[in-house]
Structure 1
Amino acid sequence: MALLQFTDNGLYCPDGDFYIDPWKPVNKAVITHAHSDHARAGSTAYLCHRLTKPLLELRLGAHAYQEVEWNEPVFINGVRISLHPAGHVIGSSQIQLEKEGEVWVVSGDYKTEDDGVSGAFEPVRCNSFITESTFGLPIYNWQPQAVQYAQIGEWILQNQQQGYSSVLLAYSLGKAQRVLQAAAMVTDHIFLHGAVANTNDVLVNAGITLPFAKRVTASVTKDELKKAVVIAPSSVLDSPWLKRFTPYRVAICSGWMQVRGNKRRQNADAGFAISDHADWNGLLQAVKATGAEQVYVTHGFQSAFSRYLQEQGIQAAEVVTQYGEAFETDDVPSSTQEQQP
């Protein structure tokens, strides 16, 4: 019997009787990170990284949470579990399972460039590797983060010179913290949507150092918002909430902006191809570094990526999961008072 099985509830370890990132409520869930497609409410108990726990509490509310550090082993029914940095977002982890010499690793979501805040991706040797493939096509090739940050900074400064505020749309956990770092390199006049501010508050309370930014509330005046940088989730695009920042320009921060057509199809002035997922080369490097004899490819371009791995002599198979279905949605609570136009 394999150490992990693909079931209707998610990735199941029969020996340990637990699931990894289940999409239905189960008795024991091991969580890679706090994004909504990988961490869902309703399970009896959760095991996660120390920095993921407060984020789960923010999103899912009170549950039985067990927190561990990276590389800290936990044993469940004879199965050795350890979490290793995935580099995706703060607290994100790969899950390593080991029993009787058989080793599996579940990547969760990951990126291989160290962003300076999410933890550097750590390749983990294994027999079987379950990898995401969100951007598993050769057209996705990210520029270095330093270049991306410089582009964002130049855009902000140009907008300020022309009298515009700069609205940067980014997921409240992950990209928002990176975009904040980029903006803080050129200005300290930064405001946050409530969903981003609440996430940042949790992270700061957990010991993460982030640049200072103000929360957008009903009491913030129009004069205060002139030529400001505003970081918000993509759900505010075309909403009445944006009117208070007029005149403003909007930029979408997403790996999908690598393809120019995506920018044209949305009501935005700019797009920055900044992603919390590995690009094509990053995915290949990660897979090869594991030395895995068997690779299972999940959400994204899993058919194309698994086929390419097979052509390279790597035994690979495509697996259909529910991960990625909540991509670019944002369910972090935000203050109701700030939603008024």
Structure 2
Amino acid sequence: MAKKPLLEFTDSGIYCAQGRFYIDPWKPVDDAVITHAHSDHARWGNKRYLAHQLSQQVLLYRLGDIQLQTVEYGEKVMKNGVEISLYPAGHVIGSAQVRVCYQGEVWVVSGDYKLEDDGISTPFEPVRCHHFISECTFGMPVYKWKPQKHIFDDMNNWWCQNVKEGRASVIVGYSLGKAQRILQNLDLSIGKVYTHGVIENTNEALRRNGIGLKPTTRITIDTPKEEVRRGIILAPPSSVGTHWMRRFNPYDFGYCSGWMSIRGAKKRRAADRGFVLSDHADWDGLIAAIEATGCEKVYLTHGYTASFSRYLSQIGFDAHEVHTLFGDDEEGEEAAPTQPPPEGEALTSALTENAGPKHLTAENFKVSPSGGGLEGAL
């Protein structure tokens, strides 16, 4: 009889039967291990939650009075003989990969991740494992990110020009992760940063958790429009096209997303400017991260799962697609667009040219110590 895998994909989420816990379940369960506080991974209704300590205040703000245990990166927790530990995912503040180990079998659930150090999230740290469960939101070779410094230089220049021309500057990004990343890279010599209430509530939760963020001012009905025009406004995707945003006319509206790299995406979002900024790994980053784990099998949960699994299989990985309810990120900002670009031509080109990591490789990383169970196995 074949050995039962340590982790299974069920209709409630990723389940560890031996440990009797779920990872990022989408139905209420007794024990949930949470990779990060985005709504597609951290849902209300579970009896007990385990997450990284930097997610604590945001989870309490979003989910209310929950029974929450928090741990540091690398700290070990035992559940019914199964060892659980969290490692940095680099996606947003407090995001984690979940390492699960039992009798020498090691799985890592990545949640969402990115490889570039954004200066505010704990940088991604690959973990050696036998089985790696990975996202592939941007798992096509057309998606290759520029260093964030180029993006933020462009953004600050755009803001400065708007101030000179008397227009308000509105930057849209989801309230946990993108908003704080933008905030920390804005040039405050240009002006003040004003925030939509949803973003400011999240900032306040992170500050309660000890995160040092640059100063922001919450926009209220009493905030003078002329004052705001001299600064920059951080707003969530839900504010686009609303009376709340129109009150700042005349304004320029910039949208931050990895999808801005697609022709026509800016037009679909009705944005004046598109800034290609994602909190997910690009094509090169996904491949480099998977290679760095030394894994025997890869399971792809959301994104371009079909095309990316085919490519991984062609370069030697045992890759599998799985169905989950992940991928509808914060307010839909990084969910796949309604009409994603055709994959055929780009994928064919990638395969025929043996596309692979160009600027990122497994050698770029310091791989986390594997702990018990992997000595001599990988």
Superposed pair shares fold, TM > 0.5: yes
Aligned to 1:336: none
In structure 2, C-alpha distance between the alignment counterparts of 1:152 and 1:44, rounded to whole Å: 43
- Superposition pairs of residues 220-239 of structure 1, within 5 angstroms: 220-239=223-242
Residue of 174, 179, 182 corresponding to 1:179: 182
Aligned to 1:188: 191
Q: CA deviation at 1:205?
A: 1.4
Q: Percent identity?
A: 52
In structure 2, C-alpha distance between the alignment counterparts of 1:37 and 1:218, rounded to whole Å: 31
Is 1:126 the equivalent of 2:129?
yes
8 Å Cα contact 1:191-1:228 kept in structure 2: yes
Is 1:244 the equivalent of 2:256?
no
Aligned to 2:157: 154
Gaps of 5+ in 2: 334-378
Is 1:170 the equivalent of 2:143?
no
Gaps of 5+ in 1: 331-341
Q: CA deviation at 1:220?
A: 0.7
Classify the secondary structure of the residue corresponding to 2:186: helix
8 Å Cα contact 1:140-1:258 kept in structure 2: yes
Structure 1 residue runs of 4+, over 4 Å off?
Answer: none
Aligned to 2:302: 299
What do the CA deviations read for 1:86-134 (whole angstroms, capped 9, x no partner)? 0000000000000111000000000001101110100000000000000
Classify the secondary structure of the residue corresponding to 2:222: coil
Of stretches 185-194 and 12-21 in structure 1, the one that deviates more from structure 2 is 185-194
8 Å Cα contact 2:30-2:47 kept in structure 1: yes
Q: CA deviation at 1:80?
A: 0.3
Residue of 67, 72, 85 corresponding to 2:70: 67
Q: CA deviation at 1:53?
A: 1.5
Q: How many residues align?
A: 330
In structure 2, C-alpha distance between the alignment counterparts of 1:159 and 1:222, rounded to whole Å: 15
In structure 1, C-alpha distance between the alignment counterparts of 2:26 and 2:269, rounded to whole Å: 30
Aligned to 2:366: none
- Superposition pairs of residues 1-341 of structure 1, within 5 angstroms: 1-329=4-332
8 Å Cα contact 2:133-2:299 kept in structure 1: yes
In structure 2, C-alpha distance between the alignment counterparts of 1:271 and 1:38, rounded to whole Å: 27
Q: CA deviation at 1:187?
A: 2.5
Q: Could you tell me the TM-score, scaled by structure 2's length?
A: 0.86
Classify the secondary structure of the residue corresponding to 1:209: coil
8 Å Cα contact 1:254-1:274 kept in structure 2: yes
In structure 2, C-alpha distance between the alignment counterparts of 1:187 and 1:64, rounded to whole Å: 43
In structure 2, C-alpha distance between the alignment counterparts of 1:299 and 1:13, rounded to whole Å: 20
Distance 1:317 1:186, change over 3 A: farther
Of stretches 17-26 and 217-226 in structure 1, the one that deviates more from structure 2 is 217-226
Q: CA deviation at 1:192?
A: 0.3
Q: CA deviation at 1:222?
A: 1.8
8 Å Cα contact 1:306-1:317 kept in structure 2: yes
In structure 1, C-alpha distance between the alignment counterparts of 2:298 and 2:219, rounded to whole Å: 45
Aligned to 2:365: none
Distance 1:39 1:316, change over 3 A: same
Q: CA deviation at 1:81?
A: 0.2
In structure 2, C-alpha distance between the alignment counterparts of 1:40 and 1:216, rounded to whole Å: 28
Aligned to 2:370: none
In structure 2, C-alpha distance between the alignment counterparts of 1:21 and 1:77, rounded to whole Å: 19
Q: CA deviation at 1:186?
A: 4.7
8 Å Cα contact 2:191-2:230 kept in structure 1: no
Q: CA deviation at 1:237?
A: 0.7
What do the CA deviations read for 1:16-62 (whole angstroms, capped 9, x no partner)? 00000000000000000000000000000000000111111111101
Residue 32 of structure 1 aligns with an amino acid whose one-letter code is T
Of stretches 221-230 and 309-318 in structure 1, the one that deviates more from structure 2 is 221-230
Q: Could you tell me the TM-score, scaled by structure 1's length?
A: 0.95
Q: What RMSD, in angstroms, separates the aligned Cα atoms of the two structures?
A: 1.1
In structure 2, C-alpha distance between the alignment counterparts of 1:54 and 1:304, rounded to whole Å: 38
Residue 62 of structure 2 aligns with an amino acid whose one-letter code is R
Q: CA deviation at 1:326?
A: 4.3
In structure 2, C-alpha distance between the alignment counterparts of 1:266 and 1:84, rounded to whole Å: 34
Q: CA deviation at 1:188?
A: 3.4
Of stretches 37-46 and 214-223 in structure 1, the one that deviates more from structure 2 is 214-223
Aligned to 2:372: none
Distance 1:305 1:142, change over 3 A: same
